[in-house]
Amino acid sequence: MKPAVKVAITGAAGNIAYSLIFQIASGNMLGKDQPVILQLIEIPPALGALEGVVMELEDCAFPLVKGIVATSDINVGFDDIDYAMLVGARPRSKGMERKDLLLGNAEIFSAQGKALNAVAKRDVKVLVVGNPANTNALITMHNAPDIAPTQFTAMTRLDHQRTLSQLSTKLELDHTRIHQVAIWGNHSATQYPDVFHTLVDDQPVIEQLDMDWIEKALIPDVQTRGAAIINARGASSAASAAVAAALHMHDWALNSAQPDDWVSMGIKSNGDYGIDDDLIFSFPLVCRDGEYDVVKGLEINDFSEQRIRLTEKELIEERDAIRHLL
Ligand code: NAD
Ligand code: LMR
């Protein structure tokens, strides 16, 4: 048996965590041979509800769970952790954009960045799910100067899976045959789902699609899918977000299920494709051996370039709004 790794989950009594914690405990995220110690973090008013989640977790008697910590003290919750799933934050409700959450949620991430810097392992892998995820990840990263910027990521994997699903429905084929989807930019209504490099088996998908569908259906549907779920459910996506979070961390830590296929993650820009290098920006990546690399050298046409610039501009505006926390 491998030694146990420590996984912190914030917002542990919330909707996403109610699914995510059980996925991690059953080995869906880090593998069926990887024992875990779960460090569950909530704000004090939610500790009672968290106690109920812990009781349910105990009742599952998961063989991989080697310890459970439930706390409202982030220095305890982040102590010596290998993985941080930063979920805890307010969700939006009908009629709001994710960036409307920025000022309310931003301070959570400056405090958590400082705590990670103080007590987490130096190679901790951090995934920010709480919205607006990219800018919250930027705040977390800036507040943890002793941890490498590569370790801070934001979730655009749900958008990536949504794009795969839309393509598979449109083309009436199994989505496992679809490769090289890319989400560029912000997890917001300006994100750009790019299918110009996408393959079905080894053929370009673009040959089977018309531009009208891409422009008027695929892109806006992916951009506004979160709002459509809020309208239908009365609450934001939770189970699908948990699946996407587990996939994100799985692929980063253990490599993608389909070797060399692309994933989309918000990462600190290195200036690739001319993107401002002080943003957490979603790029197409390949994960290998616990690390990731931006897919380089893609030809970006005018259609894509315009949309990539638009989502970059929005992220710069978000950064300007929370400059005092960086
Ligand atoms: P929720 O309201 O059900 O749960 C959030 C939990 O976080 C609550 O239990 C709350 O008490 C807790 N919390 C608040 N502040 C905290 C803090 N400082 N420390 C620890 N816990 C804290 O919300 P949810 O549905 O679980 O969604 C959580 C976040 O994830 C929201 O911001 C939502 O918009 C976002 N989200 C992101 C994506 C994505 O693709 N990036 C997808 C879905 C949801
Ligand atoms: C999503 O994409 O479903 C989440 O970011 C929740 C939201 O606010 O849309």
Q: Which one of 142, 160, 179, 187 is the catalytic residue?
A: 187
> Are residue 169 and residue 78 in the same domain, yes or no?
no
In the prediction, which pLDDT does 324 show? 86
Long-range contacts at 96-101 (CB < 8 A, ≥ 24 apart): 97/188, 97/189, 98/131, 98/132, 98/133, 98/187, 98/188, 98/226, 99/132, 99/135, 99/188, 99/314, 99/318, 101/131, 101/132
Pocket of ligand 2 contains residue 96 by CB under 6 Å: no
pLDDT of 100 > 90? The answer is: no
What are the tens digits of pLDDT across the range 266-321? 999 999 999 999 999 999 999 999 999 999 999 999 999 999 999 999 999 999 99
326 belongs to a structural domain = no
Integer angstrom CA distances of residue 279 from 95, 134, 150, 267, 276: 26, 8, 12, 8, 6
Element (H, E) at 179: strand 178-179
What are the tens digits of pLDDT across the range 175-199? 999 999 999 999 999 999 999 999 9
pLDDT of 257 > 80? The answer is: no
Q: How confident is the model at residue 259 (pLDDT cuts 50, 70, 90)?
A: confident
C-alpha of residue 203 to centroid of ligand 2, in Å:
32
In the prediction, which pLDDT does 91 show? 84
Choice from 20, 109, 129 to test ligand 1 binding pocket (greatest atom count within 8 A of CB): 129
pLDDT of 156 > 90? The answer is: yes
In the prediction, which pLDDT does 237 show? 96
What are the tens digits of pLDDT across the range 64-81? 999 999 999 999 999 999
> Are residue 128 and residue 183 in the same domain, yes or no?
no
> Are residue 73 and residue 104 in the same domain, yes or no?
yes
> Are residue 65 and residue 190 in the same domain, yes or no?
no
Q: What is the mean pLDDT of residues 122-138?
A: 97
Helices (H), 43-126: 47-60, 74-77, 102-119
pLDDT of 216 > 80? The answer is: yes
C-alpha of residue 130 to centroid of ligand 1, in Å:
5
> Are residue 139 and residue 229 in the same domain, yes or no?
no
Which residues contact ligand 1 via a Cβ below 6 A?
A: 10-11, 13-17, 41-43, 46, 87-92, 108, 129-131, 133, 155, 158, 187, 236-238, 241
For residues 217 and 95, the answer to whether their CB atoms sit within 8 Å is no
> Are residue 94 and residue 164 in the same domain, yes or no?
no
Pocket of ligand 2 contains residue 229 by CB under 6 Å: yes
Percent of the chain surpassing pLDDT 70: 100
In the prediction, which pLDDT does 65 show? 98
258 CB neighbour count, 10 Å cutoff: 11
Element (H, E) at 10: strand 5-10
Given 115, 139, 154, the domain boundary residue is: 154
Contacts of 255 (CB under 8 A, 6+ apart): 287, 288, 289
Torsion of CA 241, 247, 249, 253, to 10 degrees: 180
Higher pLDDT, 98 or 299: 299
Three-class secondary structure of residue 69 per DSSP: strand
324 is catalytic: no
Angle CA 305–287–178, to nearest 5: 65
Q: How confident is the model at residue 258 (pLDDT cuts 50, 70, 90)?
A: confident
Three-class secondary structure of residue 99 per DSSP: helix
- pTM of the predicted protein model: 0.97
> Rounded CA gap, 134 and 37, in Å?
27
pLDDT of 104 > 90? The answer is: no
Q: Which atom of ligand 1 is nearest to the CA of 92?
A: 34
> Are residue 229 and residue 117 in the same domain, yes or no?
no
Q: What is the mean pLDDT of residues 219-233?
A: 96
C-alpha of residue 195 to centroid of ligand 1, in Å:
30
Lowest mean pLDDT among 50-54, 255-259, 279-283: 255-259
For residues 286 and 258, the answer to whether their CB atoms sit within 8 Å is no
In the prediction, which pLDDT does 58 show? 98
In the prediction, which pLDDT does 95 show? 85
The total of structural domains in the chain comes to: 2
95 belongs to a structural domain = yes
Pocket of ligand 2 contains residue 131 by CB under 6 Å: yes
* Tokens standing for residue 183: 């989400």
> Are residue 98 and residue 114 in the same domain, yes or no?
yes
Percent of the chain surpassing pLDDT 90: 90
What are the tens digits of pLDDT across the range 160-171? 999 999 999 999
Three-class secondary structure of residue 13 per DSSP: coil
Which residue range forms the structural domain that includes residue 145?
5-154
Given 121, 154, 187, the domain boundary residue is: 154
Given 104, 134, 154, the domain boundary residue is: 154
Integer angstrom CA distances of residue 98 from 110, 190, 272: 18, 11, 26
